């Protein structure tokens, strides 16, 4: 008697292979965003700190990556699987919790073990690129006075512990993703490409880090009023913003995890729409407010639109993407002024763009999701993710709960990290006043970004 061995369907295998390539291409685009962050943050800070600021943006990639490689990926995604690109089984299991209440995962430490396949490694690369975006965000709010050694500690901590915690609860299939089952809230927490998981998580760390560090010398006068400390290279910052826009298509569109899921076209178009409307809304709003189309606010308007649409890009109609971009731009401009009035110094507006914009973006899923996409999301029985425009208030509840958890838990964790680091590091985590006044390039990096201008401008 002859037995026929089951062979994989070649069409299915080809689809998985193409989708895995799609994910790797998406990862490359997201990694390229690091160049955009570096140019934006360096251009929007002072020339005397340019080598220091760009170096934090360079080094954070390796620091966060190593922490995520060693343990962070396992904590986040040890229980994750998705057959569309060939990751048919998880690499591990629950480390803390069970059922609908899983808080951490385990398995695949340092990408070792028999369960590690090309699909797993490709997925790791994509998720590592996302994590590095989170790790980068505080380098903007804490720029120009953050001691190098303390920054290094943050990079490892973010990749190994800080980012993986919320990622495990959401994208990893943990308890916030399961609130559709445990609390009857919509489809559970929904965040297509990371307004919350990536941007808001980084934004709250940017906020707590700026509080612990305190404002730059000269930022606030004796009367407490903020003073402008101008960035040294506006063209550099604007070029960086366009690089971020380009990379954002890998961020959002590739989050379908499948090249055959044509919803990536909707995600990509909505990304561009929100960014475009955000940039022009910011230009018009700041012109009305101050009389000038501030380039920095135009930059933050575009970034605000991009951050806000990231959670909902696959679930909303183009008109909603435009509305989201406009609202995000106005919200972020007001947030910049709000934080300044309260004595919080953020040289690039990272807290407002990523923190405020990210929280707003998470909530937009619960407001504008139109139900045309997302059937079975998080393992739920939904036929599509629906917001209140489709009568589902439960989805907004899931999103609001996640925002509250993110602010309290990640805010508390990051504040504790920076405060303890500040207490137990000799001299604290802030650079010496004399180094800050002279510039951190020579004192901390041993080189000047612009040696020909040494001593001639800030």
Band of pLDDT at residue 10, cut at 50, 70 and 90: confident
**Per-chain mean pLDDT for the chain:** 95
pLDDT attached to residue 450: 94
pLDDT attached to residue 125: 98
Tell me what the mean pLDDT of segment 139-160 comes to: 97
Report the C-alpha gap between 403 and 311 in whole angstroms. Answer: 12
Report the C-alpha gap between 315 and 192 in whole angstroms. Answer: 8
Q: Quick one: CA torsion of 178, 65, 407, 268, rounded to 10 degrees?
A: -70
pLDDT attached to residue 279: 98
**Residue 402: exposed, middle, or buried by beta-carbon count in 10 A (0-12, 13-18, 19+)?**
buried
pLDDT attached to residue 6: 60
pLDDT attached to residue 167: 98
Q: How far are the Cα atoms of 81, 337, 391 from residue 382, in angstroms, in the given order?
A: 20, 41, 13
pLDDT attached to residue 324: 98
Could you state, in order of their start, the residue ranges of all structural domains in the chain?
A: 10-453
Superfamily of domain 10-453: Ammonium transporter AmtB like domains (1.10.3430.10)
pLDDT attached to residue 115: 94
SS3 call for 146:
strand
SS3 call for 93:
strand
pLDDT at 2 over 60: no
CB neighbours of 245 closer than 8 A, spacing ≥ 6? Answer: 36, 272, 275, 302, 306
Tell me what the mean pLDDT of segment 394-416 comes to: 98
pLDDT attached to residue 1: 44
pLDDT attached to residue 9: 82
Which residues in 30-158 belong to E strands, given as ranges? 93-98, 101-106
SS3 call for 429:
coil
SS3 call for 439:
coil
pLDDT at 11 over 90: no
Q: How far are the Cα atoms of 16, 73, 422, 433 from residue 133, in angstroms, in the given order?
A: 27, 15, 24, 29
Tell me what the mean pLDDT of segment 408-412 comes to: 98
pLDDT attached to residue 359: 98
Tell me what the mean pLDDT of segment 149-170 comes to: 98
End-to-end CA separation in angstroms for the chain: 85
pLDDT attached to residue 452: 79
**Over the stretch 175-204, which tens digit does the pLDDT of each residue have?**
999 999 999 999 999 999 999 999 999 999
Tell me what the mean pLDDT of segment 358-364 comes to: 98
Contact predicate 282/298, CB 8 Å: yes
Report the C-alpha gap between 145 and 75 in whole angstroms. Answer: 32
Q: How far are the Cα atoms of 339, 403, 451 from residue 253, in angstroms, in the given order?
A: 32, 23, 42
Tell me what the mean pLDDT of segment 58-79 comes to: 98
Tell me what the mean pLDDT of segment 211-221 comes to: 96
């Amino acid at each position: 008697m002859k037995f026929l061995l089951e062979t994989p369907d070649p069409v299915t295998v080809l689809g998985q292979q193409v989708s895995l390539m799609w994910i790797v291409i998406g990862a490359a685009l997201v990694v390229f965003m690091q160049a955009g962050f570096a140019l934006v943050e360096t251009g929007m800070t002072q020339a005397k700190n340019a080598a220091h600021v760009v170096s934090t943006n360079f080094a954070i990639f390796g620091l966060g990556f190593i922490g995520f490689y060693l343990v962070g990926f396992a904590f986040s995604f040890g229980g994750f699987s998705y057959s569309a690109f060939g990751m048919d089984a998880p690499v591990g299991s629950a480390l803390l919790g069970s059922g609908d209440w899983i808080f951490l995962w385990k398995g695949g430490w340092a990408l070792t073990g028999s369960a590690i396949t090309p699909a797993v490694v490709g997925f790791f690369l994509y998720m590592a690129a996302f994590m590095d975006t989170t790790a980068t965000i505080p380098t903007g709010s804490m720029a120009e006075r953050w001691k190098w050694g303390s920054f290094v500690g943050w990079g490892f901590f973010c990749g190994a512990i800080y980012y993986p915690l919320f990622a495990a609860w959401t994208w990893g299939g943990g308890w916030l993703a399961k609130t559709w089952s445990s609390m009857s809230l919509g489809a559970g927490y929904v965040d297509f490409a990371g307004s919350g998981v990536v941007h808001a998580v980084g934004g709250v760390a940017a906020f707590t880090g700026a509080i612990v560090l305190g404002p730059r010398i000269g930022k606030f006068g004796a009367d407490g009023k903020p003073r402008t400390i101008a960035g040294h290279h506006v063209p550099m910052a604007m070029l960086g913003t366009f690089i971020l826009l380009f990379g954002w298509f890998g961020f959002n569109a590739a989050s379908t995890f499948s090249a055959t899921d044509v919803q990536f076209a909707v995600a990509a178009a909505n990304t561009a729409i929100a960014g475009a409307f955000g940039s022009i809304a910011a230009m018009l709003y700041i012109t009305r407010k101050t009389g000038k189309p501030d380039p920095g606010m135009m930059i933050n308007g575009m970034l605000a639109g991009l951050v806000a649409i990231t959670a909902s890009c696959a679930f909303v109609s183009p008109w909603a993407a435009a509305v989201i971009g406009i609202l995000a731009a106005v919200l972020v401009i007001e947030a910049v002024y709000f934080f300044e009035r309260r004595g919080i110094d953020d040289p690039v507006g990272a807290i407002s763009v990523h923190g405020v914009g990210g929280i707003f973006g998470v909530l937009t899923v619960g407001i504008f999701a139109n139900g045309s996409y997302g059937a079975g999301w998080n393992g739920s029985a939904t036929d599509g993710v629906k917001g209140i425009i489709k009568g589902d208030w439960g989805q907004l509840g899931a999103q609001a709960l996640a925002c509250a958890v993110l602010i309290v838990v990640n805010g508390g964790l990051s504040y504790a990290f920076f405060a303890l680091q500040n207490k137990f590091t000799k001299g604290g985590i802030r650079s010496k006043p004399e180094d800050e006044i002279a510039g951190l390039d020579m004192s901390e990096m041993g080189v000047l970004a612009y040696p020909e201008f040494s001593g001639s401008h800030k």
